[in-house]
Amino acid sequence: MSKVATSKQQEVQRIVEALSIAIAQHRLKPGTRLVEAQIVDVLDANRNHVQSALQRMALQHIVTIEPNRGAMVAQPEAREAREIFTARRAIESAIIACITPENMAAHLAELEAQQLAEVNATKLDDRREIVRELSQFHLLLGKVSGNQVLSEILANLMVRSSLIVALYQRNDIPSCQCDEHSAIVSSLKEGDLARAQAIMIAHLNELEQQLDLNDTSPDSLSLRQALTLSS
Ligand SMILES: [Zn+2]
């Protein structure tokens, strides 16, 4: 790759990351219009790079691009939300299956620092920080596994999970529990992968049950509203 191409890729990646983090931390809500000119301004970026970043995020189902209307933060349907949790159960089980005692030894300090950060965030009662630390745990297990393909798939699923939580969470309680994370780490330390997987599956089932995914289709509702307003 030429030097110009490489720096373009890095710049596009920088924009993708800035937007993904804002979405993951619920600073950008589902359905928010992503105005190119504003992104250019705030991120001090080139317009072509911003367009490439938005197109890449559309392929990742994090952004929706509509003709003549531009880009907005995606609003996953309830069906997609269920599919993402099914995918997370499969991917996060596979990640745990890859974690060897050597992986654990190499990342033990990082895992312990992560657990401390989760406890501290919960004590401070800073919702944004809690959301950040709790999802960081799942991403860290991907890193510990050493499997980059699984980690990349999980990173995409985690951003899409944030959209789902923002749209369908029944209440404002944090979506993960530190003690379940601790139980997963304890099982991993003992080398009991089957138990770590079982706790992870139960944990993800619990997260899915906190969502209200039985609603009527948001599309038909907004259509009805639209027709009522126009009559
Ligand atoms: Zn969790």
Q: What is the pLDDT of residues 28-77, one digit of tens each?
A: 888 999 999 999 999 999 999 999 999 999 998 999 999 888 999 999 99
Both 82 and 54 in one domain: the answer is no
Both 92 and 173 in one domain: the answer is yes
Tell me what pLDDT residue 176 has: 67
Tell me what pLDDT residue 114 has: 94
Low pLDDT (below 70) residues in the chain = 1-4, 171-176, 215-231
Ligand 1 centroid to Cα of residue 204, in Å, is 7
Q: Which residues surround ligand 1, an ion (CB under 5 A)?
A: 176
Ligand 1 centroid to Cα of residue 171, in Å, is 17
The answer to whether position 99 is within a domain reads yes
First to last CA, the chain: 57
Ligand 1 centroid to Cα of residue 214, in Å, is 22
Both 86 and 190 in one domain: the answer is yes
Cβ proximity of 97 and 147 under 8 Å:
no
Distance, in Å, from the CA atom of 183 to the CA atom of 206, rounded to the nearest integer, reads: 15
Both 24 and 61 in one domain: the answer is yes
The answer to whether position 206 is within a domain reads yes
Domain coverage including residue 177: 78-210
The answer to whether position 90 is within a domain reads yes
Residue in 36, 161, 190 with CA at minimum distance from that of residue 92: 161
Residue in 63, 51, 33 with CA at minimum distance from that of residue 159: 63
Ligand 1 centroid to Cα of residue 188, in Å, is 15
Up-side HSE of residue 154: CA atoms within 13 Å toward CB?
Answer: 26
3-class DSSP state of 198? helix
Distance, in Å, from the CA atom of 231 to the CA atom of 215, rounded to the nearest integer, reads: 26
Tell me what pLDDT residue 2 has: 62
Tell me what pLDDT residue 147 has: 98
The answer to whether position 96 is within a domain reads yes
Ligand 1 centroid to Cα of residue 139, in Å, is 10
Both 82 and 70 in one domain: the answer is no
The answer to whether position 192 is within a domain reads yes
Both 109 and 28 in one domain: the answer is no
Total of domains in the chain: 2
The whole model's pTM is what? Answer: 0.78
Cβ proximity of 50 and 39 under 8 Å:
yes
> At 48, which CATH number?
1.10.10.10
Q: Give the end of a domain, one of 24, 46, 74.
A: 74
Both 141 and 120 in one domain: the answer is yes
Both 196 and 133 in one domain: the answer is yes
> At 123, which CATH number?
1.20.120.530
Tell me what pLDDT residue 222 has: 45
Both 99 and 204 in one domain: the answer is yes
How buried is residue 84: exposed, middle or buried, by Cβ count under 10 Å (0-12/13-18/19+)?
Answer: buried
Distance, in Å, from the CA atom of 165 to the CA atom of 84, rounded to the nearest integer, reads: 12
Tell me what pLDDT residue 33 has: 93
The answer to whether position 33 is within a domain reads yes
The answer to whether position 221 is within a domain reads no
The answer to whether position 218 is within a domain reads no
Both 65 and 95 in one domain: the answer is no
Both 36 and 133 in one domain: the answer is no
Both 15 and 70 in one domain: the answer is yes
Looking at residue 78, its amino acid is A
Distance, CA of 92 to chain centre: 13
3-class DSSP state of 176? coil
3-class DSSP state of 216? coil
Tell me what pLDDT residue 9 has: 92
